[in-house]
């Protein structure tokens, strides 16, 4: 069965300007992704600042994405701290014409595995939309176990699991992905995230890459993805290693978001200071280093 | 100078019933705190589920608290993920007649110390209300340093710092509190939290206790507080040790919130299942143990 929950899913930023969503800049990002030929677009992922936006802003961003995405499938992040709020985001994603939804178990108070299972159960009962399980412990501070993946993946409507990276050793990465694959239904795809791990993850059997950098620099992300899909594992690794200076900045500057925003700002794709306060983004000196790397890698 | 940012500040639950704030139950909780004689009430703390409520619910809860608190000062939690949302919560707390606000640096993306400093600077510039710095790494996943306490405490309007517990050894606790005291202005009080640490913290020089259990069981919390304030340090410790079975349940069941909600439900102060989903609260077996402890300690 052909499923769209494979290949490169690009996660665009949701740029703000003076605390208001810059709709023109956002539409430009989406059109850029479509032109590059990404396999899907996931709006309102962590990269798209879903957790910071109002329900109205999120509904509007979902609609804008579908409007500008043409035939490219659009997935929409629907996470929230309260189950009833999540269901409202699901409704607005459905109204917008999303092809799927992405759900992370956001926490303020720590959640139990049963809390999280019930959240997914409630959502899959509420909607016909395919659901991607979004495991992002760096932001949610919730840790999935393989057992919990297995329980949730049995729910009707679950189509994919976005996992947070893989071991860097190729053999260990294959083992890790195979361990998850063994306990989930065949139709549920596994998607790697953590851009620096993408080539290893795809080579290890992940069918998708849920990609931060792919939302802003789709071509180099597609080069990695297409090489891995063609079985050219060494080429995938080489394409990823070419971007090592970028992965180093992600690690040094506390993650991908601020660096990716600085890249988008450097390339003029978004306004300056496009992240929601209190996130100030990189300092001037850090931005200069990001710009150097982008220019030296010929990504501009 | 007399300041109200001392003594027992009681943190009531915000009980929900079928995903709607139970206003009658909430008003009852507030009146119970006033009758017991707590020094202040902090509505919409972590115990009050601020992070889960809509801006409208939060404005309504702030107003209800002030309406039912009589002469007891009311502080209101104003935290949020986005600075502009925090400012809106500040405005609604002001409109409600709050005597102060409590601000935790909520995170989804990790924040830098500069991000957090700027958040407090923006808020203190925006309002005349006194601001309590809310350091709650268990929920915010942001770690304050003593240096950052010092920077933020210099801001005009900062009146208190709610610290997350103290070392259990009384000498080390005194050292810890003295270390913070040494770098912040004299008028800024230090308040302990983590109820099991309260007696040790008050004995070590904390001027306030920001108390979860005090919001539901004010009398035993007042007994600890008044003993410590009178210099009867051994009595304060004895009153706290009497509650050791309760502190053990907090530790065993992943924190104070679910246990406190189960106590309030057991005492008929709130509806059953009063926490916001996806937080399911304790299981039936766990609730039975909580009820046993409450009954055996004569807290009913």
Residue B269's pLDDT is 98
Q: Which residue, A25, A7, A12, A6, is CA-closest to A217?
A: A12
Q: Find the angle CA(A111)-CA(A115)-CA(A119) to the nearest 5 degrees.
A: 115
A113 CB within 8 Å of a chain B CB: no
- Please determine, for residue B261, whether its predicted confidence score (pLDDT) is greater than 70: yes
ipTM above 0.90, yes or no: yes
A277 interfacial to chain B (CB closer than 8 Å)? yes
Give the pLDDT confidence of A190-229 residue by residue, as tens digits: 999 999 999 999 999 999 999 999 999 999 999 999 999 9
* B255 and A CB contact within 8 Å: yes
Helix (H) / strand (E) element for A202: namely helix A198-203
Interface A–B counts its CB contacts (< 8 A) at 89
Residue A61: predicted pLDDT: 98
How is residue A71 annotated by DSSP?
Answer: T
Instruction: Say if the Cβ atoms of A255 and B109 lie within 8 Å.
Output: yes
Say if the Cβ atoms of B116 and A81 lie within 8 Å.
Answer: no
Q: Which pLDDT value is given to residue B17?
A: 98
Q: Two tokens at A22? A: 């810059």
> Which domain does B121 fall in, by range?
7-242
Position B152 scores a pLDDT of 98
User: pLDDT value at position A2?
Assistant: 47
Chain mean position to CA A185: 22
Give residue A300's pLDDT band: very low, low, confident or very high (50, 70, 90).
confident
Q: Is residue A169 part of a domain?
A: yes
Read off the tokens for B158.
């900062």
pLDDT (average), residues B206-222: 98
Q: How far is A184 from chain B (nearest CA, A)?
A: 24
Q: Which active-site residues of A does the annotation give? A: 134, 162
Our answer to whether residue B120 is catalytic in this structure is no
C-alpha closest to that of A124 among A181, A75, A83: A83
Contact A59, A51 (CB under 8 A): no
| Residue B120 placed within a domain | yes
Residues 6+ apart with CB under 8 A from A282: A253, A258, A259, A261, A262, A290
Taking the Cβ of residue B27 and every Cβ of chain A, the question of whether any pair is shorter than 8 Å is answered with no
Q: Within the 5-24 window of chain B, which residues sit less than 8 Å (CB to CB) from chain A?
A: 19
How far apart (Å, rounded) are the C-alpha atoms in residues B181 and B43?
A: 26
Q: Indicate which of A259, A278, A280, A285 best probes the interface with B, i.e. most B CBs within 10 Å of its own CB.
A: A278
Whether residue B79 has pLDDT greater than 80 = yes
pLDDT of residue B3 exceeding 70, the answer is no
- Please answer yes or no on whether A111 and B51 come within 8 Å at the CB atom: no
CA distance B126 to B119: 11
Based on the residue annotation, tell me whether B134 is a catalytic residue of this protein: yes
Question: Does residue B159 lie within any of the structural domains?
Answer: yes
CB contact under 8 A, A19 and B84: yes
3-state secondary structure of A141: coil
Do the strands B189-193 and B208-211 form a parallel or antiparallel pair, or are they unpaired? parallel
Residue contact B108–A19, C-beta within 8 A: no
**pLDDT per residue as tens digits for the range A87-129:** 999 999 999 999 999 999 999 999 999 999 999 999 999 999 9
Cα of A259 vs its chain's centroid, Å: 15
Distance (Å, whole) CA B286 – CA B292: 10
CA B288, CA B298: separation in Å to the nearest integer?
A: 15
Q: What was the pLDDT predicted at B2?
A: 47
Residue B279, in any domain of the structure: no
Q: Residue A119: its chain B contacts at CB < 8 A?
A: 277-278
For residues B87 and A57, the answer to whether their CB atoms sit within 8 Å is: no
Which residues contact residue B116 at a Cβ distance below 8 angstroms, ignoring those fewer than 6 apart?
A278, B105, B142, B144, B148, B152
- Distance of alpha carbon A33 from alpha carbon A72, whole angstroms: 9
3-state SS assignment for residue A76: strand
Neighbours of A238 (CB within 10 A): 14
- The CA-CA-CA angle for residues B66, B69, B73, to 5°, reads 80
Bridge partners of A210, per DSSP, are A9
Is the CB of residue A84 less than 8 Å away from at least one CB of chain B?
Answer: yes
Asked whether residue B237 is domain-assigned, the answer is: yes
Tokens encoding B30:
């507030």
In-domain check, residue B184: yes
B229, part of any domain: yes
Q: Looking at the complex, report in whole angstroms how far the Cα of residue A229 sits from the nearest Cα belonging to chain B.
A: 31
Q: What is the mean pLDDT of residues A157-166?
A: 97
CA A261, distance to chain mean position in Å, is 14
Q: Give the pLDDT confidence score for residue A1 in this predicted structure.
A: 36
Please tell me whether the peptide bond between B46 and the residue prior to it is cis, using omega within 30 degrees of 0.
no
- Of the listed B50, B120, B134, B149, which one is catalytic? B134
Residue A32 main-chain phi, psi, to 5 deg: -60, -40
How many separate domains does chain A show?
A: 1
What the block records as the tokens of A255 is 């993650």
pLDDT of residue A4: 79
When computed from its CA atoms, the radius of gyration of chain B, rounded to whole angstroms, is 18
Q: Which residues of A touch B111 (CB under 8 A)?
A: 278-279
Task: Give the per-residue pLDDT at B1.
Answer: 37
**Closest Cα in chain B, distance from residue A253 (Å):** 10
Ramachandran region, residue A17 (left: φ > 0; alpha: ψ -120 to 50; beta: rest): beta
Helix A146-153 vs helix A170-181: angle between axes, to the nearest 10 degrees? 40
In a domain, B286, yes or no: no
Strands (E), B144-206: 158-164, 189-193
Question: Checking DSSP bridges between strand A208-211 and strand A189-193, what pairing results, if any?
Answer: parallel
Positions of E strands within A59-188 = 74-77, 100-103, 131-134, 158-164
| Alpha helix stretches (DSSP H) within A71-127 | 83-96, 113-126
Query: A110–B51: do the CB atoms touch at under 8 Å?
Result: no
Mean pLDDT across A53-59? 98
A84: CATH = 3.20.20.70
Partners of B138 on chain A (C-beta within 8 Å) are: 110
- Per-residue pLDDT, B4: 80
- Judged against a pLDDT cut of 90, whether residue B300 lies above it is answered with no
- Give the tokens for residue B183: 């770098």
A141–B contact, CB cutoff 8 A: yes
| B-chain residues near A254 (CB < 8 A) | 110, 112
pLDDT more than 90, % of chain A: 98
Tell me if A72 is assigned to a ligand binding site: no
Q: Which of B278, B285, B286 to mutate to test the interface with A (most CBs of A within 10 A)?
A: B278
């Amino acid at each position: 069965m052909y499923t769209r929950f494979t290949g490169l899913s690009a996660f665009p930023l949701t740029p703000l300007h003076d605390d208001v969503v810059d709709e023109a800049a956002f539409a430009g990002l989406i059109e850029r992704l479509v032109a590059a030929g990404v396999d899907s677009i996931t709006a309102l992922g962590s990269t798209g600042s879903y957790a910071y936006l109002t329900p109205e802003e999120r509904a509007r961003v979902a609609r804008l994405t579908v409007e500008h995405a043409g035939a490219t499938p659009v997935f929409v992040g629907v996470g929230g701290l309260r189950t009833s709020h999540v269901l409202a985001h699901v409704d607005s994603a459905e109204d917008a014409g999303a092809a799927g939804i992405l759900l992370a178990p956001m926490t303020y108070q720590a959640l139990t595995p049963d809390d999280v299972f019930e959240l997914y159960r409630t959502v899959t009962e509420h909607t016909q939309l395919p659901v991607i399980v979004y495991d992002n412990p760096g932001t949610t501070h919730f840790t999935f176990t393989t057992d919990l993946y297995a329980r949730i993946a049995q729910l009707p409507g679950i189509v994919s699991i976005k996992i947070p990276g893989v071991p860097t050793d190729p053999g260990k990465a294959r083992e890790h992905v195979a361990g998850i694959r063994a306990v989930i239904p065949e139709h549920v795809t596994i998607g790697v995230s953590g851009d620096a791990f993408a080539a290893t993850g795809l080579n290890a059997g992940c069918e998708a890459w849920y990609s931060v950098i792919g939302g802003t620099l789709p071509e180099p992300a597609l080069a990695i993805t297409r090489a891995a899909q063609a079985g050219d594992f060494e080429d995938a690794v080489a394409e990823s290693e070419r971007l090592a200076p970028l992965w180093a900045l992600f690690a040094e500057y506390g993650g991908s978001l601020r660096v990716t925003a600085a890249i988008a700002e450097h390339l003029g794709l978004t306004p300056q200071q496009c992240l929601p306060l209190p996130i100030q983004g990189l300092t001037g000196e850090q931005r200069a280093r990001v710009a150097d790397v982008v220019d030296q890698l010929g990504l501009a």
